[in-house]
Chains A and B, each alone.
Chain A
Amino acid sequence: MQSETRAHIDQLKSPAGDAVAVLRFEGDIASTSKDAVLGTYQSLPREAHPLILLDFTKVDYINSSGIALVIQLLMEAASAGQKVSVCGLSPHFNKVFTMVGIPKYANLFPTHAEALAAL
């Protein structure tokens, strides 16, 4: 019933020339998404990716278990000294992420382009 979570990694450069690993998610972000969210993030060599962008443009459904996975990712990234940004959330999920305090640890951008321009 839950739509499988798919994750793709794009390696991009920020306008400042820094390497950015973009994790693009599709499907649902729920308790079943651990491998797609944390596993994909953990597959990246940390020292080569100081900037991480989580792109939720193609995600329709995120529940509290899915948000918990994002928080776990933020915890690991903080301990590795990586900066994480988030883009592509719908206005509703942008509000929900804000309600639980995520902007304190990851900047939220409406679009992929706005996020990349700010990195």
Chain B
Amino acid sequence: MKEPKAAIVEVRLPSRLGYEKVAMSTAGAVAHLMGFRDDRIEDLKTAVAEACINAIEHGNRLNETRSVGVTLSAVADVLEVKVIDAGRGLEHLPPLPDIDRKMHGEQDPRGMGIFLIQALVDEAEWVAGVDGDSSYVRLVIRLDKVA
């Protein structure tokens, strides 16, 4: 049986905060074309935005000479998003956000992006390139068969 052909969309962003919204809108448009429900599109948009913010701030360290690559691959009912930066990747995942610890000054009020990504998509993995000067996060979201 013939495999369905992937629809590939690529976006390249400057490492400037705010431009994550371009990737977010693009991901939302692709997911809409694939027939995702509105609430899942919102989940995906937030996950993509947070992945791009991490790439801009931490991967590329706000260096505008470096860009963030975003590749969306739509195959059948699966949308895969890769957000690629020039950083070394995550050494370890940050601790889960704890609102009580944040409210008591025991945990940075920030640091919720990776938690949100993991919670909002079906799969999320962080991959460091072997050369040490690139890494990516791979997100997968699946079209629900039952509304």
Residues of A within 8 A of B (CB): 1-2, 28, 30-32, 61, 63-65, 67-69, 71-72, 74-75, 78, 90-92, 96, 99-102, 104-105
Asked if A100 and B115 make an inter-chain contact with CB atoms under 8 angstroms apart, the answer reads: yes
Partner-contacting stretch, out of B1-9, B66-74, B101-109, B130-138:
B101-109
Size of the chain B interface, CB-CB below 8 angstroms: 30
What would 17 A/B residue contacts be, using CB atoms closer than 8 Å? A1-B18, A1-B22, A30-B17, A32-B18, A61-B49, A64-B53, A64-B111, A65-B53, A65-B110, A68-B108, A74-B103, A75-B103, A78-B103, A101-B97, A104-B100, A105-B99, A105-B103
B50 to chain A: which residues have CB within 8 Å?
63-64
Per a CB cutoff under 8 Å, which of B17, B19, B46, B108 touches A96?
Answer: B46
Per a CB cutoff under 8 Å, which of A2, A31, A101 touches B99?
Answer: A101
The verdict on A30 contacting B99 (CB below 8 Å), with A92-B46, A96-B46, A100-B115 known, is no
Asked if B109 and A75 make an inter-chain contact with CB atoms under 8 angstroms apart, the answer reads: yes
Closest A residue by C-beta to B110: A68
CB distance from A3 to the nearest CB of B (A): 8
Provide the main secondary structure of the chain B interface: helix
Asked if B53 and A63 make an inter-chain contact with CB atoms under 8 angstroms apart, the answer reads: yes
Asked if A1 and B99 make an inter-chain contact with CB atoms under 8 angstroms apart, the answer reads: no
Q: Which of B91-147 contact A (CB under 8 A)?
A: 97-100, 102-103, 105, 108-113, 115-116, 119
A61 and B19 alpha carbons, distance in the complex (Å): 13
A67 to chain B: which residues have CB within 8 Å?
112
CB distance from B24 to the nearest CB of A (A): 8
The verdict on A64 contacting B18 (CB below 8 Å), with A71-B102, A91-B39, A100-B97 known, is no
A28 to chain B: which residues have CB within 8 Å?
18
Asked if A64 and B112 make an inter-chain contact with CB atoms under 8 angstroms apart, the answer reads: yes
CB distance from B28 to the nearest CB of A (A): 11
Asked if A99 and B103 make an inter-chain contact with CB atoms under 8 angstroms apart, the answer reads: no
Asked if B21 and A99 make an inter-chain contact with CB atoms under 8 angstroms apart, the answer reads: no
Asked if B42 and A64 make an inter-chain contact with CB atoms under 8 angstroms apart, the answer reads: no
